[in-house]
Structure 1
Amino acid sequence: MEILGYIASICIGLILGLLGGGGSILSIPILVYLFHVDAIEAAAYSLFIVGTTSLFGAIPKYREHLVSMRTAALFGIPSVVGTFLTRKFIVHSIPEILVQGEHFALTRRSLVLGLFAILMVLASISMIRGRKTESDDDRVRPGWLLFQGLSIGALTGLVGAGGGFLIIPALVMLTGLEFKIAVGTSLFIIAANSYSGFIGDLFNMKMNWQLLLPITALAILGILVGGRLTRLIDGTVLRKAFGWFTLAMGCFILIRESGIW
């Protein structure tokens, strides 16, 4: 299973490079189901893997003028604050068992993975349905974007995700950015988000670097390949693919955690 996990780690970066998000959609299931890492630890490890990989992918996007720095700042700064505060002060204070019944127990793992999956399903719907975009930074409403950034930062901090599966729909729907520019902008925000959350986790847990570094290196290889492939694929196709992929993974986690499979 570990060998399969290392092979799948390349796909973490490949998805990030192609879609500008979704790395945590793969990294958390890979860590939990293939490497048998605890859900809270997997969330922390995912932040490092996805953050480092996104940073490597964001630099060439910036050079290709596929990043809106104004949007990245307006959305990213409050998002980083939300992620850090959530990981530092809230996540590790959640008890292992939240509700205990005679035949049912709501655990911390179920809460984190269940919320993660539900957010994925909700985010996927907006990307599959889509809407006409205007590729115009003048449409950006700073106050609303700041609020969305803070809210999504807190949510991604709770589930331990870089947040691309939430950030990209928000950027496309709120600002009208063309999908490929939203991808590049998202990678910068994901990197900042992920590192802020991971730093918050460093105060609370010991990291397994022997596991983290090989997975991260393979994910970086994947994002370099994925970044090149985006030049060959239409943005609308990528947006739809992102939506369907997010929906499929969200449903998989919900089914797996419910005990059906």
Structure 2
Amino acid sequence: MQFMEIIEILGYVGALIIGVVLGLIGGGGSILTVPILVYMFGVNPVLATAYSLFIVGLSALFGAIRNIQKKLVDFKTAIVFAIPAFIAVYSTRMYLVPAIPESLFFIGDFEVTKNIAIMAFFALIMLLASVSMIRDKKKTQEKPEEKISYNFPLIIVEGVVVGVITGIVGAGGGFLIIPALVLLAKLPMKKAVATSLLIISVKSLIGFLGDVQNYEIDWFFLGIFTALAAVGIFLGIWLNKYIDGEKLKKGFGWFLVVMGIFIFYNLLNE
């Protein structure tokens, strides 16, 4: 078996792991999608962010349906947040990303290309996500008696910001959405996590529609990768009965730190 074939098999195992992490801790796993697609399958970074939107969107949809059945989703907040978010992510994928020039600028003899800039921005987002997973969240525990209220202007602004970031890097943005729902909509933590999955699924899938018109999609490969991630989600949900998700979240956060540093190192040595 050749080295590249082994890497490809590991990539498909990575797809399964993405789903397992999503099923175990409710988010974060999707941020691995772009690095796996780029470094294990050789997918162009811009196309990888497009594929990631589809994979993340469908994966989050499975979790959202499960949470709807449990009546944990706050639909009013989801609608207020999701509308500006999916408009922003669709516009970003349809117009902003294609408009970015292939060559941006030079730092000495080092050329900063569109692909390098997107991967560098992605690594930065990955490091920010790791901080939110590592830090102690005891102070943000839900308060059942607190009345849910809505700061609509800030929720809309946050939706636009998250939509643009999602459009650029292809990640779900749960680490940005959940704090926003807790702080701006006063949602209890469990409802915030559940509602964020619905928002992520809607904006990611609608954002992907902006790519269908701009790129040639390998539907066969995308279907296999997404199916493995979906299987991983159900496996993660089952494992959640036996594994402490909070402890795993911190460990995964440190793993994201290593991955973010690796991406920066790899970009500087290309």
Instruction: Identify whether the pair has TM-score above 0.5, normalized to the shorter chain.
Output: yes
Find 2:111's aligned residue among 105, 129, 137. 105
Find 2:91's aligned residue among 72, 85, 93. 85
Greater shift in the superposed pair: 68-77 or 102-111: 68-77
Count of residues paired in the alignment: 260
**Contact in 2 for aligned 1:23/1:50 (Cα 8 Å):** no
- Structure 2 unaligned regions, length at least 5: 1-6
Distance 1:176 1:259 in 2: 45
1:88 to partner: Cα distance: 0.5
1:208 is matched by which residue type in structure 2? D
**Contact in 2 for aligned 1:8/1:30 (Cα 8 Å):** yes
Q: TM-score by structure 2 length?
A: 0.86
Distance 2:42 2:149 in 1: 45
- Please report the RMSD computed on the Cα atoms of aligned residues, expressed in angstroms: 2.4
Confirm or deny that 1:115 pairs with 2:121: yes
1:155 to partner: Cα distance: 1.2
Distance 1:106 1:47 in 2: 24
The equivalences for 1:30-179 within 5 A come to 30-100=36-106, 102-127=108-133, 128-130=135-137, 131-135=139-143, 136=146, 138-179=148-189
Q: Which residue of 1 aligns with 2:4?
A: none
1:156 to partner: Cα distance: 1.0
Distance 1:159 1:228 in 2: 29
1:147 to partner: Cα distance: 0.8
Q: TM-score by structure 1 length?
A: 0.89
Shift of the 26–101 alpha-carbon distance from structure 1 to 2, 3 Å rule, reads closer
Find 1:251's aligned residue among 245, 248, 261. 261
**Contact in 1 for aligned 2:24/2:245 (Cα 8 Å):** no
- Tell which structure's C-alpha radius of gyration is larger: 2
Q: Which residue of 2 aligns with 1:208?
A: 218
Q: Deviations over 1:89-141 (max 9, x none)?
A: 11011111111355111011111111111122224324414333444462432
1:52 to partner: Cα distance: 1.1
Identity across the alignment (%): 46
